Amino acid sequence: MMTEAKVSRRDSLRNIAALGAVVAVGASALAAAPAEAAQPHMNRALSDLQAALAQLNAALPDKGGHRVKAIALVTQAIDEVTKGMAVGAM
Protein backbone atom coordinates (compact mmCIF):
# COMPACT_ATOMS: atom_id res chain seq x y z
CA MET A 1 0.00 0.00 0.00
CA MET A 2 1.47 3.36 -1.03
CA THR A 3 1.47 6.29 1.33
CA GLU A 4 1.64 9.92 0.34
CA ALA A 5 4.56 11.89 1.69
CA LYS A 6 3.62 15.10 3.38
CA VAL A 7 5.76 18.14 2.68
CA SER A 8 5.77 20.60 5.54
CA ARG A 9 5.06 24.28 5.02
CA ARG A 10 8.68 25.02 6.00
CA ASP A 11 9.99 22.62 3.34
CA SER A 12 7.62 24.11 0.77
CA LEU A 13 8.83 27.63 1.56
CA ARG A 14 12.44 26.46 1.46
CA ASN A 15 11.84 24.91 -1.96
CA ILE A 16 10.27 28.12 -3.23
CA ALA A 17 13.22 30.14 -1.91
CA ALA A 18 15.70 27.76 -3.53
CA LEU A 19 13.81 27.96 -6.81
CA GLY A 20 14.02 31.75 -6.58
CA ALA A 21 17.78 31.43 -6.14
CA VAL A 22 17.98 29.24 -9.25
CA VAL A 23 16.03 31.82 -11.24
CA ALA A 24 18.32 34.59 -10.00
CA VAL A 25 21.42 32.60 -10.89
CA GLY A 26 19.93 31.76 -14.27
CA ALA A 27 19.24 35.43 -14.92
CA SER A 28 22.81 36.37 -14.03
CA ALA A 29 24.06 33.60 -16.31
CA LEU A 30 21.96 35.03 -19.13
CA ALA A 31 23.52 38.43 -18.50
CA ALA A 32 26.87 36.78 -19.20
CA ALA A 33 25.57 35.14 -22.39
CA PRO A 34 28.43 36.32 -24.66
CA ALA A 35 30.90 34.57 -22.34
CA GLU A 36 28.97 31.30 -22.53
CA ALA A 37 29.91 30.67 -26.15
CA ALA A 38 33.58 30.77 -25.19
CA GLN A 39 33.03 28.56 -22.14
CA PRO A 40 31.03 25.51 -23.24
CA HIS A 41 32.23 23.31 -20.37
CA MET A 42 31.37 25.88 -17.71
CA ASN A 43 28.02 26.50 -19.38
CA ARG A 44 27.27 22.78 -19.35
CA ALA A 45 28.36 22.48 -15.72
CA LEU A 46 26.05 25.34 -14.77
CA SER A 47 23.15 23.74 -16.61
CA ASP A 48 23.80 20.36 -14.96
CA LEU A 49 24.02 21.95 -11.50
CA GLN A 50 20.74 23.78 -12.05
CA ALA A 51 19.11 20.51 -13.09
CA ALA A 52 20.55 18.78 -10.02
CA LEU A 53 19.19 21.52 -7.78
CA ALA A 54 15.74 21.16 -9.32
CA GLN A 55 15.82 17.41 -8.65
CA LEU A 56 16.96 17.90 -5.06
CA ASN A 57 14.16 20.39 -4.48
CA ALA A 58 11.64 17.92 -5.92
CA ALA A 59 12.90 15.06 -3.72
CA LEU A 60 11.12 14.04 -0.55
CA PRO A 61 12.50 15.93 2.44
CA ASP A 62 13.08 12.94 4.74
CA LYS A 63 16.80 12.41 4.14
CA GLY A 64 18.23 13.04 7.62
CA GLY A 65 19.39 16.53 6.68
CA HIS A 66 21.54 15.32 3.78
CA ARG A 67 19.14 16.62 1.10
CA VAL A 68 19.14 20.07 2.68
CA LYS A 69 22.94 20.08 2.87
CA ALA A 70 23.17 18.92 -0.76
CA ILE A 71 20.86 21.78 -1.80
CA ALA A 72 23.14 24.26 -0.03
CA LEU A 73 26.28 22.79 -1.61
CA VAL A 74 24.82 22.69 -5.13
CA THR A 75 23.60 26.28 -4.71
CA GLN A 76 27.13 27.25 -3.64
CA ALA A 77 28.57 25.40 -6.66
CA ILE A 78 26.19 27.27 -8.98
CA ASP A 79 27.40 30.55 -7.49
CA GLU A 80 31.06 29.58 -7.93
CA VAL A 81 30.58 28.46 -11.55
CA THR A 82 28.74 31.70 -12.32
CA LYS A 83 31.55 33.75 -10.76
CA GLY A 84 34.15 31.71 -12.65
CA MET A 85 32.35 32.33 -15.92
CA ALA A 86 32.31 36.06 -15.19
CA VAL A 87 36.08 36.06 -14.53
CA GLY A 88 36.68 33.97 -17.64
CA ALA A 89 34.75 36.48 -19.74
CA MET A 90 37.14 39.31 -18.81
Q: How far apart are CA 19 and CA 22, in angstroms?
A: 5
Domain count, the chain: 1
pLDDT digits (tens, 9 = 90+) for 70-90: 999 999 999 999 999 999 888
Q: Decide if 9 is inside a domain.
A: no
pLDDT of 28 reads: 58
Q: Decide if 1 is inside a domain.
A: no
Q: Decide if 56 is inside a domain.
A: no
Q: Decide if 35 is inside a domain.
A: no
Q: Which residues, at least 6 apart from 20, have a Cβ–Cβ distance to it below 8 Å?
A: none
Q: Decide if 10 is inside a domain.
A: no
Expressed as residue numbers, the domain containing 77 is 43-49+62-90
pLDDT digits (tens, 9 = 90+) for 33-70: 554 458 999 999 999 999 999 999 999 998 999 999 99
> Residue 5: pLDDT above 60?
no
